[in-house]
Structure 1
Amino acid sequence: MASPKKQQTTTNKNQAALSSSTRTTTLFPSKKRRAQMEIIGLLIIVVLVVIIFFFLLSFTLGKHQPTPKSKIQHDEYATRFVEAIYTLDTPCGARMDNYIKDCILHKPTMCQGKNACAYVNDVTRTILTKTLASWGEPYLFNISKTPIHHAYGNCTGTSEAWRVGE
């Protein structure tokens, strides 16, 4: 049989070993938590960098500069619109170009109870409102030497499709 002193020493060693293993297991969760916190911190940094990247990307793409192709397309739209207005047949028997010229020259021509300028103004406003404005396209339409002037939106470019009356 073992002596009581030896038995006590063995019990102390077992308690020390148990205590040591308990301390070791309590240290590991702390290291795991620290590693998890570092990973979460890195993920937050990565997410912030991605958000900033997309924010800057949307900013640079938002400043759309018209390309030569889009400038040509806008010029083409303007030219075709003016051609369509200019060659439009009116219910009064004359083409629109005659009323535009009469408006510029201040002739007393009438159509549907309106003088030439008022008639051209009403027709162009109606066409522009039902087309470009309803599509959300900005425009600035002006016939030189007349009171005819229509604008919609923030039209920054210019296109002198035709110079009627000059």
Structure 2
Amino acid sequence: MQNDSDRFFVLTGGPGSGKTTLITALQQAGFATSVEAGRGIIRDQSAIGGTALPWNDRPLFAELMLSWEMGSYQTAIEQTGPVFFDRGVPDTLGYLKLSGLPVAAHIRTAAMRFRYNPRVFIAPPWPDIFTQDEERKQTSDEAERTYHALAAVYTELGYELVPLPLSPVEARVGFVLAEAGLK
């Protein structure tokens, strides 16, 4: 019997590297996907005047990210077939480390318990497509530091990193499906 984690594929990397565009294309191709926690939380908190925003309260933002990612994982268990995640539980750990904030024991525990496929797709920095917007306020330098922090966290947790090519989304979809054994 296949473990759920074997069918759970994470796409991670710094902001503005094409992850969400790739996730959207995979969803349009008929695959189950998750919504990125960061953008969702920023939209929700902004809509209600909340303070759990990365520029207001980073620790609270991280706790909401963790909760969101664990919820996405639980939802995915109820689905059949492969699921592509726009980030995973370990991204919260990377965010805290990048921010220079302490990592609470429960966050480490979550990163160890909520496991994904051993091969994690990571989007390298891509300056040609990087843009800022209302939700993405990071600079390209911070995006690159985020990439390195996430690469370190996933590696420390025993995942094999599979760098995404800097290519159009259709080529990236083909690459991901081939590397995931789904093509």
TM-score by structure 1 length? 0.33
Greater fraction of residues in strand = 2
Greater fraction of residues in helix = 1
Max Rg structure = 1
Which structure's relative contact order is higher, taking Cα pairs within 8 Å and 6+ residues apart? Answer: 2
